[in-house]
Each structure stands twice: as C-alpha cells, then as structure tokens.
Amino acid sequence: MNSLSEKQALLKTLHPVTALLYLAVMGVLSFALDHPLYLAGILGVVVIAIVQVDEKKTFYSYIKIGLFILALIMIVNPLVNKAGQTILWRGPYLPLLGRISVSLEAVVYSTAMGLRLFSVLLLICLYQLMVDPDQQFDIFSRVAKRSGLTVSLTARLFPQLAERLREITDVQKIRGVRLDSGTRREKIRKRLPLLKILLITSLEGSLQMAEAIEARGYGSGSRSFYEINIFRPRDYLILTSTFLALGAGLVGITQGWGVYRFYPVLGPWVDSFPEFLWMILIEIILAVPLGLNWGWEIWPFIRSKI
C-alpha cells in the first residue's frame, strides 16, 4: 500500500531526484555547520515542511522519538562533560564519574547537538513522506538494480510492520483480549503472542512478494518502466534554490561562518553582521520550496504555471 496520503501537496509532486537532492543538501548543511541558531532554523524549515505535507500522525510519532533523544542528550552530556568553565550546578561525588558539575557550555553544546539529531530524524520522516517507495526503486534501479530493490523494500518494511501490528492488535481487542489491563508483566505476556503473529504474517508476506517478483520475470531481462517521471518547472525552481543554498553554505564555510565556539567559554552568538545576514539568507533559500507549496495551495494560477 502506498504510504503517501491522497492529498497531494506540492512537496509530494516533486521529481524524486529533486526531493532527494533538497533533503540531502539540508542534511549535509546540518552536519557541516553547528551554530545553534542555524540548526534551530533548519529544524524550523523541516517542521513546517512536514506540516505542509499534512501527515500529522507520522509527524507525532517522530516527534516523540526526537524529543526523547533531545532530552536524553541534554541530561546525560552536561553530567559527564566537564569542559565548560561557567558552572551552573555542582553535585555530589560519584564513583567513576567524579564530582558532578553542570556547565553552561555543556548545556548549550548538548542543545545544539540535540537540535542536529532532531533535524536529521525529521529529515528522514520528511523523506518518507515526500518520496514514494516505488519512486525510490525507480531511481536506484536505473543505477543499481539489486540495491534499488533492497532500498525500496527497506523503506516499506517499518510502515508495513506498524500497520500489521495495529491490525493484529485491533483483531485481538475485538476478540475480547484486554491488552492494556493488569500489571506490567501481564501486559507484556498478553502482547508476546502479537509478535509471533506478526512474524508469521511477515514471513508469509515475504514469500508472496518473492513469488510475485519471480512471476513478473524480475532479473530475466532489461527492466521496463511503468511510470516515467519528468522534470517540471517546480522541480527546476527547487533545484535552483537547493544548489544556491549549497553554494551559500560552502561560501560560509570558507569564511568560517556557521561554526560556533562552545568551549572553554561560549563565543558570541554572532561574530559579525555579514554572518548574521548569511544565516538568514541561507534559511530563506531553504524555505523557498515551502513558499512555493503555500502558493500552490492558495493560488490556482501558480499551480497551473509550475
């Protein structure tokens, strides 16, 4: 089943190569630059993009995971990292860890790294929402046929497992099994049979898929293409903004912009006015697809032209 929803936002109608390049550039810039303000801006762009795609259920599941990772980093790293000089709190002495001390520098560094991981996690979510698994297979199969099939099946795996587990759970509840009642041990004992059923259905689904692939003559000759993706004006506009953002990022890196000094004491939030303008500019360029998506939904004229 196609995991993409019926409602088609502009971000869902892009050529797969356009979507992949756009997301890849944001991911590369997230790893190349570590300024907290820039990382917060990247996170904001990704969140708005997911909201525009209108996949709230998927978004909330990733938000829960991301917030957990962010909280874990912000709690653990300041407790074990003693590099900062601005001490906010001194705790007791613990074996192996020594005296616990929390510094402002460690807190800010943990926040920045948490924002980076959060952004990457949501980029993965946005990738799954923007690029259909069949389109992924279509792209990669032109270059590496077997690897393309592996990538496509992997992208389908977790959504399908989640959907099957949800269906199995609903069936068990209809049969009168109270999965959420009792102690924690009883809840675990009641849910263990669900994993057995999930494993059996997954194996059956794998066998059916293998039979379908063999019946269609996969690997017996040159591959045919059911659907041909074409580049449209919106793809060229977003590709242009993507390469502009990449170029601006490279220029900033050569100038030493977007790199923040965390230790031993925090550096200034903005070293120069040009760096501040550069950070704003690069965020605006990355937000161009969001503006096009907004215009796509508001004005039919723009929809007809791009």
Tell me the residue ranges of DSSP E strands in the chain. Answer: 87-94, 98-103
* pLDDT single digits (tens) 167-180: 888 888 888 777 77
**Residue 91 pLDDT more than 60?**
yes
Report how far residue 27's alpha carbon sits from residue 66's, in angstroms, rounded to the nearest whole number.
16
Counting residues of the chain whose pLDDT is more than 90, the rounded percentage is 19
Strands 98-103 and 87-94, how do they pair? antiparallel
Top-confidence residue, 160 or 277: 277
Residue 190: inside a domain? no
Residue 201: inside a domain? no
* pLDDT single digits (tens) 278-304: 999 999 999 999 999 988 888 888 888
pLDDT at 216: 73
Q: How many CB atoms lie within 10 A of CB 49?
A: 25
**Residue 13 pLDDT more than 90?**
no
pLDDT at 285: 94
Counting residues of the chain whose pLDDT is more than 70, the rounded percentage is 85
Question: pTM of the entire structure?
Answer: 0.72
User: Contact, 53 vs 130, CB < 8 A?
Assistant: yes
**Residue 97 pLDDT more than 70?**
no
pLDDT at 272: 85
User: Contact, 50 vs 125, CB < 8 A?
Assistant: yes
The C-alpha angle with vertex 259 and arms to 35 and 283, in degrees rounded to 5, equals: 50
Report how far residue 160's alpha carbon sits from residue 133's, in angstroms, rounded to the nearest whole number.
12
Residue 176: inside a domain? no
pLDDT at 1: 40
User: Contact, 100 vs 90, CB < 8 A?
Assistant: yes
Alpha helices (H) along the chain: 16-32, 36-53, 56-80, 104-130, 133-143, 145-174, 184-215, 233-255, 273-286, 288-298, 300-305
Top-confidence residue, 134 or 117: 117
Burial of 95 (0-12, 13-18, 19+ CB in 10 A): exposed
Q: Which residues pair with 101 in a beta bridge?
A: 90
Torsion of CA 294, 296, 299, 301, to 10 degrees: 150
Helix pair angle (145-174, 184-215), 10° resolution: 140
Residue 207: inside a domain? no
Residue 209: inside a domain? no
Residue 4: inside a domain? no
**Which residue, chain included where needed, has tokens 């993507």?**
242
Residue 184: inside a domain? no
Top-confidence residue, 179 or 256: 256
**Residue 6 pLDDT more than 60?**
no
**Residue 30 pLDDT more than 60?**
yes
Give the residue numbers spanning the domain of 251: 10-154+230-305
Question: Rounded mean pLDDT of 119-130?
Answer: 87
Cβ neighbours of residue 127 closer than 8 Å, sequence gap 6 or more: 19, 20, 23
Question: Rounded mean pLDDT of 51-55?
Answer: 78
Rounded to the nearest integer, the mean pLDDT of the chain is: 82
Identify which of 292, 282, 255, 220 has the alpha carbon closest to the alpha carbon of residue 28: 282
Sign of CA dihedral 39, 42, 48, 54: negative
Top-confidence residue, 145 or 122: 122
pLDDT at 277: 92
pLDDT at 145: 66
What's the chain's Rg over C-alpha atoms? 24
Give DSSP secondary structure letters for 103-126. Answer: EHHHHHHHHHHHHHHHHHHHHHHH
Which SS3 state, helix, strand or coil, does residue 285 take?
helix
**Residue 5 pLDDT more than 60?**
no
Top-confidence residue, 142 or 82: 82
Top-confidence residue, 66 or 180: 66
pLDDT at 3: 42
Residue 212: inside a domain? no
Domain total for the chain?
1
